[in-house]
Structures are given as C-alpha cells and as structure tokens.
Amino acid sequence: MNNGFIILIMASCFLGFGYMGVPVVFSITAGVLVAASLTKISFGSIVGQMFHGIDAEALLAIPFFLLVGELMTAANVTTRMIVLAQTLVGHLRGGLAQVVTVFSIFFAGISGSSTADVAALARTVGPEMDKEGYDRAFTAALIAAAATIANLIPPSIMAVVYGATGNVSIGGLFLAGVVPGLMVGAGLMIYSYFFGPPGIHRPRATFGQFSEATKAAALPLVIPIIIMGGILTGWFTPTEAGLVAVTYIVFFLIPIMNRGHLKNLPRDFANVGLMYSIPLAAVAAASAFGWMLAFLKGPEVVSGWISDVAGTNAILIMLLLVVLFVIVGDFVDAVPAIIIFMPILNALAELGQIHPVHMGVTIITTLAFGLITPPYGITLLMSSKFVGVSFMAAVKRSLPLYIVFFTTILFCVFFPRVVLWLPKTLLPESVGCFKNPSGPGHICPQF
Amino acid sequence: MSSSFVVPRDRHLKWPSLDWLEALLYILCGVCIIGFSLCVLADVTSRELGRPWLWLQQFTTGFFAWGVFIGMALAARRNDHMYLAEIVQSMEGNKRRNLEVFSRLVVLVVSLFLVVFGWANFLNDMGSYRMPSLIPLGYYTISVPIAGALVALFQVEQIVNGLKNGFPDPVASTEQVAS
C-alpha cells in the first residue's frame, strides 16, 4: 500500500478517534497501531517505541518545572508577586489587565507551564477584575493569552520537549524564547492600555509601597536566577536546575512564607506525579507516531511539498511551517505536535539551512499561539471555565489579541539575529559558536 | 483513608470496590516523583562531592518511567487525560451513550495491545541490562503492560457502570442546573 495513504489513515484515525472522545494518548496509539497493521512493522516494536519515547534524560526536567508552579500556587506564594505587579503597573489605564500580563512575565520565569499560570490568575486577579466591571470574556481571553508567555520565557516545557526530541540545545531555546516572550507581554499591555476596558483608576504606588512589595516578593523572584543562573554557568542541567528550584521552595520558601502549607506537601507531590504523567504519556504515544511517520518517509513527503513551493528559501520555508503549525496547533496539543513533526522539522531545517534554535523558538511561539485558538485552545478553555464565561465568548474577545501573536511570530521569522542574540551572548555554544583558538571571544556561524 | 485520595467526579462510573486501587495509584504517583526527585538530588550531591554514583541515574529514569505509566492508568480512572474535544459532553441520549461506549472500546483495545505486546517486550528485555547498574531493562518496561491492564480494567468498569447508570455525571448536571 502507498505510504502516503497509510499516513492519511494514521492521521485520520488519530483525529477521528480524538474528536469522538478518545483521550489523546490512546487516539494517537490507535492510529499508529492501525498503520502498523498495514506495514511489516510489528506491534511489539510500536509498544517498545512508546517506552523509549520517554526514556530521555532531558524530559526529567518537566516534572520539576510543573512542581515549581504547583508548589508556588498551592502555597499561595504567588499573591506576593501579584502585589508587586500591582505596584508596578496598577496605576496605568486598565490597571488589573496590566497586572495580569506583568504577573505572567514574572511567573513565566518560575514555572514552565501555562496551566499553573491560568489557575493562579483566575483564582486571584480574575474575581478582582470582575468586581471592577471588566467584561468576563475579556478577562478570560487576556489571562489565557498572557499565560502562553510561560511557554516562551524560560523555563519552558515546550522548549524542553523540543530540545530533547530534536537534539537542540535546551539552554539556547530557553534564552531565545525571552525576546518573543517579552514581545507578547508588551503587545498585550499595549492592547490593554489602548483598547481594553479602563478599570478603576488607581494612584501610582509610592516608593515605600513598591519597596515593600519587592521585599515581600524577593524570595520567590530568586527562582528564575537559580534556574537560569545554574544553566548558564554550566553548574546544572535543566533537570538539576528544576530540582534545585524545588529544593529551595520546599526547604526555604514555604517554611518562611507559609509554614502551615508544609503538611500539604505530600499531596502536592502526588498531584504533580499525576499531572506530569498526562503530557508525558502523550509524548510516549506521539514518539511512536513520529517514528512510524519517519518509517513511512513522511518527512520526505511533507518537506518535498514545502520545498516544491519554497525551494531552499529559509524565510518561505519558515512561513509555510508557521501556517502548518497554526493549523496543527488548532487541533493538536503542543507537546505531541512537536514530537510528531520533529522529523519533518529536522529535514526542513537542513534543507533551508535554518538554525535549529531559530526554527525551534519560532515553532514554539506558533504553538503557544495555538493554546488560545479554537477548537483546541487549552489555556483559553481553562480560563473561560475558571472565569465563568462561555468558550465562544472568550474566543471572540481574544481575536484582536491574535495580532500580537502574529506580529511576534513574523518577527521571529524575519529577525533571527535579534532572536538569537541572547543565546549567542550568554550561551554561545548553544547556537554553534566555538571558542576562538587564536584569541578571545567566540567564532559563530552566520544567522 | 482511601476516600480522600479518590476524586468524587464520575462517581457513578466507578465501582467502590476499586477505590483502593485509585488511592494506591495516587500514592504511587507521589512515591515515584518523590523517589525520582531524591535520586536527582543524590546524583547532584554525590557528583559535587567528587564521588558520583552513576547507577543513581538508572533509578531516576526508573521512577520517572513508572510514574508516567502509573499516572496514565490513574488518569484513565479519573478521566483526567487530555482530550482533543469534549463534543461528547454536549450530547444526550442514545447518541451520547453509543459514542461514550465506542470511545472506551477503542481505549480498551489499545490497552489490550499494550498488555500483550508490552508483556512480550518485557520477557525479551529481561535479557538486556542497563549499565553500570546491571538492572534488567525488563524492570522498567514491565510498567507498560501493567498500565495497560489497569487501563483495560478501568474501561470495563466505566462501560458496565455507564450502561447501567448512564454516562453523564448526575452531580455535574445538578450543579449546572443550579447555576
């Protein structure tokens, strides 16, 4: 049977079963098993591939970054960061909307997941915005859009998965995510300032209030320094940096800030034990899917289609990939999407001579956008549920925010030098630079 | 004790006699993540002290993999997995019942594949060893058929109870009406 036809059957089974209510992990596996029955590949090797898909050291970082977010939220430490954000931007037009974005930027430096961010904001700032008369659909849309920043600013779980499966420097992806992360944040703040509800006007915080809020939030804000400092200095791998952050929270932060929460720690750990298994089970299934796709020469077929249109033009290849991933991100969760399409991404990066970190950060930004687009915009689904508004109403209010994401994605495509500037400066090896043998500094490839 | 570890959601789809299993799996999720956190901590500490315990990494990946597959089984009982869409929730009557049964049958078939072929892989992997600890690879890969068996059990439980009591959660429906 023709390989293209088998790929079509495999993808149709996955999407068909998925939309009929079969959980993602099982709908992907069902699609792969159906495809395997049409080839010479044994079912045993498919099941084996599922295990090997999660047997990667870099993936161990994921539970730690989830744990950091869960512990910070469960122990109510995040409220101090919200107060700090309030003293910084609460006086601007749409004060609470600005607080949502600034808090998300802070929290993104601590947790790698959007879900913890949505939960923290919807429980704390959400009710306050309601009291101040903000339209609930706007609140849900803004919280969801701001929460996507967690996937861009380090540490990012999407970057860990991308780096682990694509053999790309995770440190490099972390640093390259800073520019698009800040751009999305700035875009949301500009939108809220000019086009969002005005909210209640508050006086600017005094220096005393600001310094008090900074002091209260100082201990949690050490976490990004621990994580990125450890990775940049080469002391820790991302996994170890995550562990050090968890150790800091368990043995230092919670005993000082919320001692009463210590008795709940075993439950927090068990919750995260379940929480991390859900995306990673999808990783296991998706890696079997990606493996089957590679066996069926899917990467060659898709990269053939793209190269027929774009040739070897890097910009055109990237733009077509962005279109592809905007569509994929509408229907499939980001983590399985990264793994399923990784062989195609690798083939196209080679074809267009695109830097893997540049390609990675553009794809991650596009998939982060997918978190707020229907029908499968998971953070928007969550925030609309928490805020208490219909999903479609939140979708309508999030439409203008799409412009912020499109601008950021296009910026990533067209300005690789800006995106790669931070990794090139702070972690030159991550973007292929090597030490100059005959002098100071590094010798780097052209981007 | 077990009741606090069992989520009340979809109670009508669960046999009370299997609640201990949900509680056990939940505790094991906690044990796995604590175990693997301690292993990474010991790994970093021993390395910093200049006496690295290389075999610790194999314990780490063991806890990690077991945690993933145990969590997969637990999420199947709690209906906590990721879904592409929740169109089933908006349906009613026979249409909904048929789709609910069909989706669980698909999961059941897939989980039986995991049991049969995962078991074959386990037997094969008992002859392969991880270096330097010399732990048989089978000790890791047996987590796959065990998870498959648990998922299959939970699908049977949900299909039988769903056909008997209906699939929509009566508690959630009452809450929706009240709100």
Instruction: Tell me the pTM.
Output: 0.84
CA distance A162 to A361: 9
List of residues 6+ apart from A270 with CB closer than 8 A: B5, B26, B27, B29, B30, B33
Say how many C-beta atoms besides its own lie within 10 A of residue A402's C-beta.
Answer: 14
The stretches of A249-390 forming alpha helices (DSSP H) are: 254-257, 265-295, 298-310, 314-331, 334-351, 356-370, 378-387
Instruction: Find chain A residues with C-beta within 8 A of B140's C-beta.
Output: 51, 55
B61, B69, B103 ranked by CB distance to A20: nearest: B103
- Chain B residues with CB under 8 Å of A29 CB are 110, 113-114
Residue B172 confidence class, pLDDT cut points 50, 70, 90: low
User: The tokens of A44 are what?
Assistant: 């045993």
Residues of B in contact with A57 (CB under 8 A): 57, 61
A67 touches chain B (CB under 8 A): yes
pLDDT band at B177 (very low <50, low <70, confident <90, very high): very low
Q: How far is CA B57 from CA A164, B39, B44, in A?
A: 17, 7, 10
Nearest CA-CA distance, residue B37 and chain A, Å: 7
Query: CB distance from A1 to chain B under 8 Å?
Result: no
Q: A23 and B102 in contact by Cβ < 8 A?
A: no
Put simply, whether A281 touches B (Cβ < 8 Å) is yes
Query: A243 vs chain B: nearest CA distance in angstroms?
Result: 7
CA B20, B21, B22, B25 dihedral sign is positive
Distance of residue A392 Cα from the nearest chain B Cα, in angstroms: 14
Q: What is the pLDDT of residue A364?
A: 97
Report yes or no: A272 at the B interface, CB cutoff 8 Å: yes
What is the reported pLDDT for A406?
A: 96
Cα separations (Å) of A35 from A30, A50, B154?
Answer: 9, 15, 26
More confident residue, A399 or B88: A399
Distance CA B167, CA B101 (A): 9
* A64-73, B6-15, B122-131, range with the lowest pLDDT: A64-73
Q: Do B68 and A26 touch (CB under 8 A)?
A: no
Q: B68, B114 in Cβ contact below 8 A? A: no
Q: How confident is residue B178, by pLDDT bands cut at 50, 70 and 90?
A: very low
Interface contact A269, partner B, CB < 8 A: yes
Q: Is A58 on the interface with B (CB under 8 A)?
A: no
Using alpha carbons, select from A169, A168, A172, A175 the residue that is nearest to residue A154. A175
> Which pLDDT score, from 0 to 100, does residue B173 have?
54
Give how far B16 is from chain A: nearest CA, Å: 21
**Residue B176 pLDDT class (50, 70, 90 cuts):** very low
Prediction ipTM score? 0.93
Find the CB nearest A24 among B57, B83, B87.
B83
Q: Please indicate whether, in this complex, the C-beta atoms of A246 and B120 are within 8 angstroms of each other.
A: no
Mutation choice for B interface testing from A19, A274, A328, A373 by most B CBs within 10 A: A274
Q: Within an 8 Å CB–CB cutoff, is residue A234 touching chain B?
A: no
Tokens of B64: 């990690």
Taking CB atoms and an 8 Å cutoff, what residues of chain B touch A33? 110, 113
Q: Looking at residue A307, what is its pLDDT?
A: 87
With beta carbons less than 8 A apart as the criterion, state whether A356 and A349 touch: yes
Is A176 in the B-facing interface, judged by CB distances under 8 Å? Answer: no
Mutation test of the interface with chain A: which of B26, B28, B37, B159, choosing the one with the most A Cβ atoms within 10 A? B37
A421 inside 8 A of chain B by CB: no
Query: With an 8 Å Cβ cutoff, are B102 and A20 in contact?
Result: yes
Helices (H), B84-142: 93-125, 138-141
* A 348-407 near B (Cβ less than 8 A): 375-376, 378
The pLDDT of residue B85: 67
Query: Each residue's pLDDT tens digit in chain A (447 positions)?
Result: 788 899 999 999 998 998 888 998 999 999 999 999 999 999 999 999 999 888 877 788 888 988 888 888 887 778 888 899 999 999 999 999 999 999 999 888 888 778 778 877 887 788 888 888 899 999 999 999 999 999 999 989 899 999 998 999 999 999 999 999 999 999 999 999 999 998 888 899 999 999 999 998 999 888 888 888 888 888 888 888 889 999 999 999 999 988 988 999 999 999 999 988 988 898 899 889 988 988 998 888 888 888 899 888 999 999 999 999 998 888 777 888 898 889 889 889 988 999 999 999 999 999 999 999 987 788 898 888 888 888 889 999 999 999 999 999 999 999 999 999 999 999 888 888 888 888 888 888 877
Residue A255 is encoded by which pair of tokens? 């005993």
Residue indicated by tokens 């806890």: B63
Give the Cα separation of B43 and B54 in Å (integer). 8
The string over A216-249, giving b where at least 16 C-beta atoms fall within 10 Å of a residue's C-beta and e elsewhere, is bbebbebbbebbbebbbeeebbbbbbbbbbbbbb
Residue closest to B82 by CA, chosen among A26, A117, A49, A368: A26
**A22–B36: do the CB atoms touch at under 8 Å?**
no
Tell me how far apart the alpha carbons of residues A433 and A233 are, in angstroms, rounded to a whole number. 16
Q: How far apart are CA A50 and CA B140, in angstroms?
A: 12
Least CA distance to B107: which residue of chain A?
A26
> If contacts are CB pairs under 8 Å, which of residues 138-167 in chain A contact chain B?
none
* Residue of A21, A246, A274 lying closest to B83 (CB–CB): A21
Residue with tokens 């998965």, as numbered in its chain? A161
DSSP label of B18: G
pLDDT in tens, A8-65: 999 999 989 988 889 989 999 999 999 999 999 999 999 999 998 888 777 888 889 8
